[in-house]
């Protein structure tokens, strides 16, 4: 599944109302939204929602076909970022295009100031990090909520996002923890594939775990209910099922009223992990490694042992390997 976004991003200082007003009035086909983490800013975005609206629904004669509609509206943001930087003299404005397919993402864009490009990145899976650091020196982390599919999903009542990391533990083990506790609970939906785990409490929150490699799981998610009761339940559910593990998870409400991090990873190591791209490879390029069978006669995926350093003749049982901590 692909997801493409085109974005104008500006850091909010003393220009919040003016920025939002200008973007809202002059870019009528885009979404404008304020965000508060990892810095305070405004994003104006064209995303895949535009593709769902037929060109015939727009003003008569405005677009001749779907291709023209998409091209003109998406490039409108690219061009207007330069005009916006002239209006807000001295402000650094970023334009970023993000393209995700099969779990793999790449980005490109530039930064303009006073109508002139002052920085440009032609494309890389981490290009957005370098671009955003040009407008906010304190920007940190590869994940950026406005680039996720559900950031603008008001129909789903999305109130916030979740992002984090687990190290030195396996995806099947995480699944077992949640499944034992909630597998028979009708309020929960749990689904697992070879690289992904979904744990959803319908209408309240959604946890998504992604296997990056044998030593790293990415945690993502969505908050649908911002009540104090649900936020406490969400935090307790996560912390209790990850008890004893090395992890960090941050909860963010998009209105800025909650930014909370929980976990056990040391600050410096947690920062280092959060900087890494987890979208550099498509899912089908990442082999999933189950622990070997007792007789060592079969393997699923790559043969590289997930427990590097052990002899291939080591015939420990499934659960010994599954819950082995490094």
Instruction: Give the pLDDT confidence of 289-300 residue by residue, as tens digits.
Output: 433 434 433 333
Mean pLDDT within 66-70: 86
Per-residue pLDDT band for 220 (boundaries 50, 70, 90) equals: very high
Q: Tell me the pLDDT band of 155, cut-offs 50, 70 and 90.
A: low
Q: What is the pLDDT of residue 181?
A: 94
Angle at 233 between CA 228 and CA 238, to 5 degrees: 130
d(CA 275, CA 139): 10
**In this predicted model, what pLDDT tens digit does every residue of 285-324 receive, in sequence order?**
544 443 343 443 333 333 233 333 333 334 333 333 344 4
Q: How far apart are CA 101 and CA 113, in angstroms?
A: 31
30: pLDDT strictly greater than 90 = no
Distance of alpha carbon 117 from alpha carbon 131, whole angstroms: 12
- Phi first, then psi: what are they for 280, rounded to 5°? -85, -20
Task: For strands 259-263 and 196-201, give the pairing.
Answer: unpaired
Per-residue pLDDT at 44: 95
Helix (H) or strand (E) holding 80: helix 66-87
**Contacts from 77-83 at CB under 8 Å and sequence distance 24+?**
77/6, 77/7, 77/8, 77/27, 77/30, 77/44, 77/45, 77/46, 78/6, 80/8, 80/26, 80/27, 81/8, 81/110, 81/112, 82/112, 82/115, 82/117, 83/115
Residue 103 in tokens: 């779990």
The full length of the chain comes to: 326
Q: How far is CA 272 from CA 36, 159, 240, 268, in A?
A: 22, 27, 25, 6
pLDDT, mean over the chain: 84
* pLDDT over threshold 60, residue 86: yes
| Rounded distance between C-alpha atoms, residue 45 and residue 60, angstroms | 23
CA distance 223 to 205: 5
**Which of residues 250 and 58 earns the better pLDDT score?**
250
Average pLDDT over residues 279-285: 71
Is the predicted pLDDT of residue 98 greater than 80, yes or no?
yes
- 8 Å CB contact between 29 and 73: yes
């Amino acid at each position: 599944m692909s997801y493409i976004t085109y974005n104008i991003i500006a850091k909010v200082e003393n220009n919040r109302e003016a920025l939002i007003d200008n973007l809202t009035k002059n870019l009528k086909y885009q979404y404008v939204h304020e965000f508060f983490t990892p810095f305070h800013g405004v994003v104006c975005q064209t995303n895949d929602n535009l593709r769902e609206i037929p060109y015939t629904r727009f003003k008569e004669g405005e677009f001749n076909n779907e291709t023209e509609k998409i091209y003109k509206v998406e490039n409108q943001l690219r061009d207007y970022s330069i005009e916006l930087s002239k209006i807000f003299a001295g402000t650094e404005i970023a334009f970023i295009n993000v393209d995700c397919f099969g779990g793999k993402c790449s980005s490109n864009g530039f930064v303009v100031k006073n109508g002139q490009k002052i920085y440009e990145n032609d494309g890389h899976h981490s290009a957005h990090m370098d671009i955003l650091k040009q407008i906010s020196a304190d920007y940190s982390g590869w994940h950026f909520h406005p680039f996720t599919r559900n950031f603008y999903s008001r129909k789903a009542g999305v109130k916030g996002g979740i992002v984090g990391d687990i190290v030195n533990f396996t995806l099947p083990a995480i699944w077992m923890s949640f499944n034992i506790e909630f597998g028979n609970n009708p309020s929960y939906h749990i689904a697992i594939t070879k690289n992904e785990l979904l744990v959803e409490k319908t209408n309240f929150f959604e946890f998504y775990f992604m296997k990056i490699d044998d030593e790293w799981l990415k945690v993502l998610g969505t908050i649908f209910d911002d009540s104090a009761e649900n936020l406490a339940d969400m935090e307790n559910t996560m912390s209790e099922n990850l008890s004893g593990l090395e992890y960090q998870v941050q909860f963010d409400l998009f209105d800025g009223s909650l930014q909370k991090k929980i976990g056990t990873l040391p600050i410096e190591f947690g920062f280092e992990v959060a900087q890494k791209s987890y979208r550099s490879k498509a899912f089908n390029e990442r082999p999933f490694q189950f622990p070997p069978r007792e007789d060592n006669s079969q393997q699923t995926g790559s043969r590289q042992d997930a427990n590097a350093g052990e002899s291939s003749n080591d015939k420990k049982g499934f659960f010994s390997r599954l819950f082995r901590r490094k």
